[in-house]
Chain A
Amino acid sequence: TQLLEQSPQFLSIQEGENLTVYCNSSSVFSSLQWYRQEPGEGPVLLVTVVTGGEVKKLKRLTFQFGDARKDSSLHITAAQPGDTGLYLCAGEHSWGKLQFGAGTQVVVTP
């Protein structure tokens, strides 16, 4: 089984601060996805990265896929309370089959 490790497990910051979440594996994935999950709801896809070294931006969120396609990071600039949630990375083994990391719980307080 290809393990996906996320760090940190929990992150509590003040509004306006920046944060970075990491997702690491010893194995190569064909693509990597980031999801956000809010209480009582299913995960919602934020982005998919496919190419090694790829950087994608979604407003204040920046996603990067490592050159070797084994790791990824999510950086949030000037976090807002609406960014609060469980952030999950998911590596794609073969088409459609995802393996999820344990998640990073982010809490942004006003």
Chain B
Amino acid sequence: DAGVIQSPRHEVTEMGQEVTLRCKPISGHDYLFWYRQTMMRGLELLIYFNNNVPIDDSGMPEDRFSAKMPNASFSTLKIQPSEPRDSAVYFCASSLGGSSYEQYFGPGTRLTVT
């Protein structure tokens, strides 16, 4: 398996622009997670899905952030409008579910908002 795939790997955008980050989880995994990592706050869970349904979005910082999972093989995290404080590395992870605790992380998208 190719593992969790994220695109783009790097994104540079100007303040106010819309940003869309994409994730393809490992085939067969029922759970998908979006995280944000910064030096100041470390790795934070933003939202997670089970069988394409959002379960907990309490980590989403504000209404500018939204996430969707239209099918089992694709998810997006959108920021509109983007702000410089959104600059971070965004990770997607997936998990099999059931008795498996392991989360498999993608390589991340490094977002820079100028």
Contact = CB atoms under 8 A, between A and B. Distances in A.
B45 A97 contact: yes
B48 A42 contact: no
Interface residues of A, number: 19
Interface string A77-109: 000000000001000100011111111000000
Bin the interface of chain B by size.
20 to 34
Contacts, number: 48
Interface of chain A, main secondary structure: strand
Interface stretch (A19-27, A43-51, A53-61, A63-71): A43-51
Given A100-B42, A101-B42, A42 B107 contact: yes
B102 A48 contact: yes
A30 to B, nearest CB: 10
B42 A33 contact: no
Interface of B: 4, 31, 33, 42-45, 48, 50, 55-56, 91, 93, 95, 97, 101-108
24 contacts: A40-B108, A41-B107, A41-B108, A42-B4, A42-B105, A42-B106, A42-B107, A42-B108, A43-B91, A45-B102, A45-B103, A48-B102, A88-B43, A96-B31, A96-B48, A96-B95, A96-B97, A96-B103, A97-B45, A97-B48, A99-B45, A100-B44, A101-B42, A103-B42
